[in-house]
Structure 1
């Protein structure tokens, strides 16, 4: 048996491990991850929970992961097929030493990966890079542990429902749910039978080929089916989920998409009524409207790095009751456990919808701005971080003030633009927001001018 292992360098990401199955990611990677993670605990007895999404490669990856964990001394608890938040819940409920989710999240069907927790804390950044180094050095032990299966989905559903105010639900509410053939389908199918109102499900069957549309609710084309359903049936709201159920997409009764920062603003009102002066965290891609709205509601807006692991860690650090990202990750520590759970976020939205407080009314109350959605600019993993550093030097020499929390965010009186390196894809991510159409075009020209210096462009 070889004493070392070499992961493809591109799969060890900032907050998870992710690659193309059969190409950059394989079953031996899963086994070695299990060996190294189990061996990283100082105590002899360690309980590690595993769960998987519905991708076609997930069953064999999870079996090889379990093999590695077991062979290196872990007591492995397999909770089966389910969404990532069910694993996060299990880690809290069973007080495990670690937890690993096998999921490709919203990436293409032939991709897969691993999200890791140590205790109740995300395992990311340097910890993930250290896995690569330990693999190269053969730093893992062999000592048999144990394996068992554990059925936890009913307990998870029970806690979800106990953590909301069912008496506040509008009993005439008409809701469409689209799990996108992802791992949340079975849980959502059970939950809707326990809720007041009228509920319509589409794409609830778990299918790793995602036959109806890709399970990424940040892409408008993936919401077209849901929008048409909401409008045709005159429903009050549509709810969409990504492949592993930790992100939420929302559609209003008139078919408007409610973006992640707008959703966070919508949810902030009640949280800040109950917990005034609390810090509310949003990622660096969020609208300036959100930060102003949080301040207006009596909260303390906090801008932070994009990435679920970064946000969860920051929440714990500053005792924030609520956080969110443009990507649809919503994190509740208010009445819940402080992690991103698309299903729980959906239930909290439904608590607030009534005849007087609709999503459309709320959207119309926000200041009018003009913005792009995320613009993804193809850029190799080797080049993308270099572009950010070199562009910062250019902007600094031009005496332009730069927010460097995550990438480069340039804020001016009439708007802002952002350029950052994605931690999950070989792309640079840009976003622009302005108070007028003219300013939006001016910002686009300005950003393009800088991108052209690196033979890149917005289009």
Structure 2
């Protein structure tokens, strides 16, 4: 079964087997080989129930296309990025639907150096090849199975300052893996460093028996927050299904948002990279850019979306980037996201400053940020235009079309943008007082729904 809607802005994703099945996976394997003119591709999958079947069909498509496939097994997305970039291969495919419900699966496709292939950089060409479905007969490639975990762990450990880990044994961290792929790598890293970790939902299970593996949703953090308080842990972390995003909870059981973590990580990274450029997405708090500047960095605001952020990082030579969605990107890890490294850098900061995470984050929480609100709107562009006509004409309004619409005033701002992955209009806003934030949120909701 094939549904053309599975081709999204950044990846291929749909319901198995109604929208994508083994036949589609086979054709995607053939198409990726043809598009990249590849001799060797990396292949990995997460714990989703359909992953093994789809991965097998992809592998067959790749070898029938004349390329070798190096199957690294059931792994996190960062391990696929590592295997492509560190070993110098021409590309790779990760079989995953990230945090989506169990019935979904999909493919994240990269070229050399783990550069993502999106709608603008080749995914539409791959779609065309899949739909055409005509491939030349080629001499078969080889299927090679290998394990890259040890090499990956060594790479991550090479990116931290061992001198800052002398007191590692005093750390206690609770980790909620959401029955996803994060436990294998983080357990290995923490064991090496001597960090005490209490792991929950660590067994990979694509039926997600405990909760959806999405750290952005507060309801998914309830158990983690209780355990952090009960265990008197330094902080807690929650990873998504394929472990390329991580959410943080401080020692008081409070959520630390992605933009606050971006600011904290920026300060830590700028210690070794003074004057470096750092990218943050335009939904982030004013405080994020202010903290980057204060730490001697150059803040660059940019669009939402991992493929766009990575491209901007390469173009600007940025050392780090962070998104409100809890993707954290490191130049030293091939300019892609890595949750393990984000966790280690926050732990380093807690160790070095000898302060709890809540205290480190408190000075940055100086504005009042509303959680992102989603609206199902049929005419998204029309609604954005209507809102701009109202607010863009006001005195001292600073209007940006970098990604949808962003309008800033001296005491508040809002961002309104169409989702790249879902049929939604997304609103984010922030104000200098809680009262103004609540007032403007109510006002905006009324206008958007009206």
Do residues 270 (structure 1) and 265 (structure 2) align? Answer: no
Question: Which residue in 2 is equivalent to 1:117?
Answer: 110
Aligned partners of 2:207 and 2:230: how far apart in 1?
27
Question: Which residue in 2 is equivalent to 1:202?
Answer: 200
Check conservation: 2:2, 2:18, Cα contact below 8 A: no
Counterparts of residues 95-106 of structure 1 (less than 5 Å): 95-106=88-99
Residues 337-382 of structure 1: CA deviation (Å, up to 9, x unaligned): 32101112111111111363331112221252222212122346xx
Counterparts of residues 62-141 of structure 1 (less than 5 Å): 62-120=55-113, 121-126=115-120, 127-138=122-133, 140-141=135-136
Check conservation: 1:178, 1:203, Cα contact below 8 A: yes
Do residues 161 (structure 1) and 157 (structure 2) align? Answer: yes
Counterparts of residues 316-355 of structure 1 (less than 5 Å): 316-333=314-331, 335-354=332-351
> Offset of 1:87 from its aligned partner?
0.3
Correspondent of 1:281 among 258, 279, 282: 279
Partner SS, residue 269 of structure 1: helix
Aligned partners of 1:147 and 1:265: how far apart in 2?
43
> Offset of 1:314 from its aligned partner?
0.8
Aligned partners of 2:389 and 2:125: how far apart in 1?
30
Aligned partners of 1:39 and 1:343: how far apart in 2?
33
> Offset of 1:393 from its aligned partner?
6.3
Question: Which residue in 2 is equivalent to 1:3?
Answer: none
> Offset of 1:294 from its aligned partner?
1.0
Aligned partners of 1:71 and 1:182: how far apart in 2?
31
Check conservation: 2:265, 2:346, Cα contact below 8 A: yes
Q: Note closer, same or farther for the CA distance 1:117–1:253 as it changes in structure 2 (3 Å cut).
A: same
Q: Note closer, same or farther for the CA distance 1:364–1:50 as it changes in structure 2 (3 Å cut).
A: same
Structure 1: runs of 5 or more not aligned: 1-5, 454-459
Correspondent of 1:18 among 13, 18, 31: 13
Question: Which residue in 1 is equivalent to 2:420?
Answer: 423
Q: Aligned Cα RMSD in Å? A: 2.0
> Offset of 1:189 from its aligned partner?
2.8
How many pairs were matched up? 443
Counterparts of residues 216-255 of structure 1 (less than 5 Å): 216-255=214-253
> Offset of 1:290 from its aligned partner?
0.5
Question: Which residue in 2 is equivalent to 1:456?
Answer: none
> Offset of 1:196 from its aligned partner?
2.3
> Offset of 1:138 from its aligned partner?
3.8
Partner SS, residue 399 of structure 2: coil
> Offset of 1:385 from its aligned partner?
5.0
> Offset of 1:392 from its aligned partner?
4.8
Correspondent of 1:152 among 144, 148, 161: 148
Check conservation: 1:189, 1:204, Cα contact below 8 A: no
Counterparts of residues 362-373 of structure 1 (less than 5 Å): 362-373=360-371
Check conservation: 1:50, 1:77, Cα contact below 8 A: yes
> Offset of 1:283 from its aligned partner?
1.1
> Offset of 1:221 from its aligned partner?
1.3
Check conservation: 1:284, 1:304, Cα contact below 8 A: yes
* TM-score normalized by the length of structure 1: 0.91
* TM-score normalized by the length of structure 2: 0.93
Please say which of residues 132-141 and 168-177 is displaced more in the overlay: 132-141
Question: Which residue in 2 is equivalent to 1:315?
Answer: 313
Aligned partners of 1:129 and 1:385: how far apart in 2?
23
Q: Note closer, same or farther for the CA distance 1:19–1:281 as it changes in structure 2 (3 Å cut).
A: same
Partner SS, residue 93 of structure 2: strand
Residues 233-259 of structure 1: CA deviation (Å, up to 9, x unaligned): 111111111100111111111112111
Q: In proportion to residue count, which structure has more helix?
A: 2
Aligned partners of 2:260 and 2:9: how far apart in 1?
26
> Offset of 1:274 from its aligned partner?
2.0
Aligned partners of 1:109 and 1:248: how far apart in 2?
19
> Offset of 1:186 from its aligned partner?
2.0
Q: Note closer, same or farther for the CA distance 1:389–1:261 as it changes in structure 2 (3 Å cut).
A: same
> Offset of 1:18 from its aligned partner?
1.0
Do residues 39 (structure 1) and 69 (structure 2) align? Answer: no
Partner SS, residue 274 of structure 1: coil
Question: Which residue in 1 is equivalent to 2:405?
Answer: 408
Aligned partners of 1:324 and 1:122: how far apart in 2?
17
Question: Which residue in 2 is equivalent to 1:305?
Answer: 303
Aligned partners of 2:388 and 2:35: how far apart in 1?
37
Q: Note closer, same or farther for the CA distance 1:290–1:20 as it changes in structure 2 (3 Å cut).
A: same
